Structure 1
């Protein structure tokens, strides 16, 4: 079974509602390919490796979280950009990309799906555009939480704990926002979190964690954002009767 590119775009837009978000780049169809779509490949980033894998799988469309075009980037089509676009255009593959809308979806998005993997269902939201999630948790201390996250994601994480002040503090409320959301840390603290999980850490957050009494866990940008794209693409593909495969391109970041 196949469906028109326009109908597929409408299905993604209807589900993710990109018009609700101020974003860093265009959401939706970024590169136009075949007018009819039968097979979708999903992945985290529109890298050359993912595009080559999609070509090998004879895909008609690729669905990703990190597309090709971002606000403020160099607009010239040279180097890596030429190589990626050249492959997409030569094989007539549609590229769909959704950034913040994919993070925010309450059931299928990156944050909701990371919560599922870690065993939590959010009962509150926080931060700019309500992208951050908060849930009740039960861990004796930050190290136990970090071990749980590392085990669930299958990779080492970076943990910064508060400065010692007596007995370790239990974790009763956990906040998270996937990817490069280290700037949400103070909003997470204001939301009552005992610990905050995201993909990356920058220099200021280590000091804030030690001084504010809230644990900070950086679990990897890619590692925290590899669940939303296959959840959304798989949902839409099933709804429309299309073939769907998620392809994991390993990324240590």
Structure 2
């Protein structure tokens, strides 16, 4: 049986609590499509490639981490924006996007799911969260060296990673914040991390890692955020009796 779009909207909002976050763009239903939803596709970014793949899957709704609209962007519907919107509107597909709420969910979010994928046990008490809006996660995974943990991350994510560290130093306390969270490194250091895992690295973080003795692993923005959307999508699909498919559009970033 199909679910109403309003029921899917309510289920996602109840789960992810977007009103609790100060974010960079609107969370929730970004493009309204048909009222009845039978099939939900999840993905990382609302790219044209994902939308086309969702059309091929005959999806009624798409759930992503990176939506179409961001604070401060050009508001004109031209070029790539026109192409994406045209496809969604022509096929009457709903687009749902949750940015920080999808990072932060304690069980199904990007950080929690990446930790699970890497075998990091998140601390259940106050030590388990750090940083602005408590977006950073902290847990434990003992490794004989930062280099060994880096190799493990590379193997689990299927891509090369960047390690800045004393490679032979053992690590135990692991901080995670997926995507472009290099600005959380100092908070991770203050929280007692031995190693920080995120998607990207900027020039200052290499110096902080060397000078503070805390390892830094940059494993790719997209690669670190592949796990939250399908986990949330599968959860709400099961709740509402929908079909769910995760489509991973390759991105080297």
Separation of aligned partners in 2, 1:12 and 1:161:
39
- Which residue is 2:45 aligned to? 45
Shift of 1:95: 0.1
Following TM superposition, by how much is the alpha carbon of 1:136 offset from its aligned partner in structure 2, in angstroms? 1.5
Give the aligned partner of residue 161 of structure 1.
165
- For residue 122 of structure 2, give the secondary structure of its aligned residue in structure 1: coil
SS at match of 1:73: coil
Partner-residue secondary structure (3-state), 1:24: coil
d(CA) in 2 for partners of 1:93 and 1:138? Answer: 45
The corresponding residue for 1:126 is 130
Secondary structure, counterpart of 1:137 in structure 2: strand
2:27 match? 27
Q: Which runs of 4+ in 1 moved over 6 A?
A: none
For 2:139 and 2:234, locate their aligned partners in 1 and report how far apart those are by CA, in whole Å.
26
Q: Counterpart of 2:142?
A: 138
Encode CA deviations 1:141-175: one digit per residue, 9 max, x unaligned: 1101100100111110000014x9xxx32101110
Displacement of 1:135 in angstroms is 0.7
Matched, 1:86 2:90: no
Structure 2, gaps ≥5 residues long: none
1:4 paired residue number: 4
Could you list the runs of 5+ residues in structure 1 that have no partner in the other structure? none
Secondary structure of 1:217's match? strand
1:185 has 2:185 as partner: yes
Give the distance between the partners of 1:211 and 1:26, measured in 2 at CA.
38
Kindly indicate whether residue 110 of structure 2 is the aligned counterpart of residue 110 of structure 1: yes
Return the TM-score normalized by structure 1.
0.97
Task: Spell out, residue by residue over 1:172-194, the C-alpha distance to the aligned partner (whole angstroms, 9 max, x if none).
Answer: 11101000000000000001001
Deviation at residue 53 of structure 1 after TM alignment: 0.3
Mapped contact 2:120–2:174 kept (Cα < 8 A)? no
User: Is the 2:2–2:36 Cα contact (8 Å) retained in structure 1?
Assistant: yes
C-alpha deviations, 1:42-72, integer Å up to 9, x for none? 0000000000001111100000000000000
Is 1:148 aligned to residue 163 of structure 2?
no
How many residues were matched structurally?
Answer: 249
Partner Cα separation in structure 2 for residue 227 and residue 214 of structure 1: 26
